[in-house]
């Protein structure tokens, strides 16, 4: 080994002995092992095309339920759009419910739900990968659709619930802004808690995903603030043509960063649940967490109940290069 590799291996030993460094490194390493960045890009792609259909569906349902309360319907739609600071103002003028005969309306709603299911399927794929669920345990066609529809329902109920609570803000006078922030944070936390438990086929308990839900909520609130800044200081001074592309690129980037941060929070849940740290920076040797992570990745490839994947590590996996005689400093004469 050269001096650089020896230095890196000594740094590796240090991070393995200190969880304050070793835990974040293990999360980042597992994020890469699961190719979560690619999963985040897929979620962002489907989310980009699902936003408008979901808004149409939401407006249509509100039109049926709140037909005699247009003001409340308007507030609920605005509440939903508040989560998308980059295009919220542009969509407000286009959020009209579906119209037509009963059959046409039913077909339109069914098509809208099916079209918006793409983001739910991509999210389930990502969460099952993060939890390294074997392919043979992934839900079938019907199960995936039911889970996707369930999470959409949770998001819709969250919007209604948060809007209802925000209406109480004037009661708190000068502290109404604080009430609004608290309501938004608590509701977002509940949505992430539900998503982290519902979008994976793995058996997880609420306590297994609490830490990730807290971090995802923090990430989401920070991302919304960043989106608001982008609208005010970038789009606000953009020309018409540039502004159009800035909206599309800004929205896609915002969705991608949001998906990436959410999956990072989910990875933290898995690393904590199965204690997948410390991980090694240079291999060999493999740590116990390295071996557990690689076993979980290999077991994911089980695609049929009749198939069993077994993993064996060679003696090379436990070799300690720094302890070999050739790496020890020679004694001074």
Q: What's the predicted TM-score (pTM) here?
A: 0.84
Q: What is the pLDDT of residues 47-62, one digit of tens each?
A: 888 777 777 777 777 6
**Residues whose CB is less than 8 angstroms from the CB of residue 109 and which lie 6 or more positions away in sequence, other chains included:** 57, 60, 98
pLDDT of residue 204: 93
262 exposure class (CB count in 10 Å sphere: 0-12, 13-18, 19+)? buried
- Average pLDDT (12-31) is 93
Taking the CB of residue 97, how many other CB atoms lie within 10 A of it?
A: 19
Judge whether 289 and 277 are in contact, CB under 8 Å.
yes
Q: What is the pLDDT of residues 87-104, one digit of tens each?
A: 555 555 555 555 655 666
Distance CA 40, CA 125 (A): 10
The SS3 call for residue 87 is coil
């Amino acid at each position: 080994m050269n001096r650089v590799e020896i230095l890196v291996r000594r740094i590796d030993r240090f991070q393995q002995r200190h969880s304050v460094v070793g835990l974040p490194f293990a999360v980042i390493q597992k994020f890469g092992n699961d190719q979560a960045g690619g999963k985040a890009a897929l979620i962002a792609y489907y989310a980009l095309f699902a936003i408008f259909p979901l808004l149409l569906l939401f407006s249509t349902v509100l039109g049926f339920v709140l037909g005699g309360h247009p003001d409340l319907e308007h507030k609920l739609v605005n509440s939903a759009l508040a989560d998308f600071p980059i295009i919220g103002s542009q969509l407000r003028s286009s959020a009209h419910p579906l119209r037509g005969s009963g059959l046409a309306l039913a077909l339109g709603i069914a098509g809208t739900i099916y079209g918006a299911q793409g983001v739910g399927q991509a999210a389930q794929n990502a969460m099952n990968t993060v939890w390294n669920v074997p392919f043979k345990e992934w839900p079938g066609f019907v199960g995936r659709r039911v889970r996707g529809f369930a999470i959409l329902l949770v998001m819709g109920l969250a919007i209604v619930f948060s809007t209802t609570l925000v209406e109480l803000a004037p009661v708190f006078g000068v502290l109404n802004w604080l009430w609004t922030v608290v309501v938004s944070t608590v509701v977002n936390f509940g949505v992430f808690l539900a998503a982290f438990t519902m979008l994976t086929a793995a058996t997880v308990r609420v306590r297994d995903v609490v830490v990730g839900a807290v971090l995802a909520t923090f990430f989401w609130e920070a991302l919304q603030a960043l989106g608001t800044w982008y609208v005010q200081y970038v789009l606000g001074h953009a020309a018409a043509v540039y502004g159009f592309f800035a909206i599309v690129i800004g929205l896609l980037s915002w969705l991608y960063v949001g998906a990436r941060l959410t999956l990072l929070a989910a990875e933290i849940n898995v690393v904590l649940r199965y204690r997948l740290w410390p991980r090694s920076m240079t291999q060999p040797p493999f740590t116990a967490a390295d071996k557990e992570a690689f076993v979980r990745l290999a077991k994911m490839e089980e695609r049929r109940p009749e198939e069993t994947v077994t993993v064996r590590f060679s003696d090379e996996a436990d070799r300690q290069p720094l302890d070999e005689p050739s790496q020890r400093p020679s004694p001074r004469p």
